[in-house]
Amino acid sequence: MGQTDAWTVAVIIGLACVTVIARSFFFISSKPWSLPHWAQRGLQYAPIAALAAVVVPEVVMVQGQLTPTLQDARLYAALAGAAVYFWRKNVLITILVGMAVFLPLHLGLGW
């Protein structure tokens, strides 16, 4: 086994130990453990923040650059979807309206 291989194995073992130790803190304690109120409140926003981090760059960027023109079907589909969601609070209708706006602009006008 070469030095690089030994280093890789050592790193894997070290990371495994850190993971086991970090996760066992929840099991070692004999009394119930709960997050502070501020952390519980913050975790409520984690899913929407993750979704925004994935969706927003896809809507406003092309090949790593901001969309240079307003002739982009994704912009209008996202705006229509957001408007319908705030009006109806229904995810399925949001997706349907977004696609109903996107497809004609993208396929019909070539945006």
Looking at the fold, whether 1 and 48 belong to one and the same domain comes out as no
Which pLDDT value is given to residue 2?
Answer: 55
DSSP state of 70: S
Helices of type H across the chain:
3-28, 37-43, 46-60, 73-88, 91-103
Number of domains composing the chain: 2
Looking at the fold, whether 21 and 56 belong to one and the same domain comes out as no
User: Which stretches of the chain drop beneath a pLDDT of 70?
Assistant: 1-3
User: 58, 74 in Cβ contact below 8 A?
Assistant: yes
Domain of 10?
A: 1-32
Looking at the fold, whether 100 and 47 belong to one and the same domain comes out as yes
Look at the pTM and tell me if it is higher than 0.95.
Answer: no
CA distance 103 to 74: 9
Residue pLDDT, tens place only, 31-47: 777 888 998 998 888 88
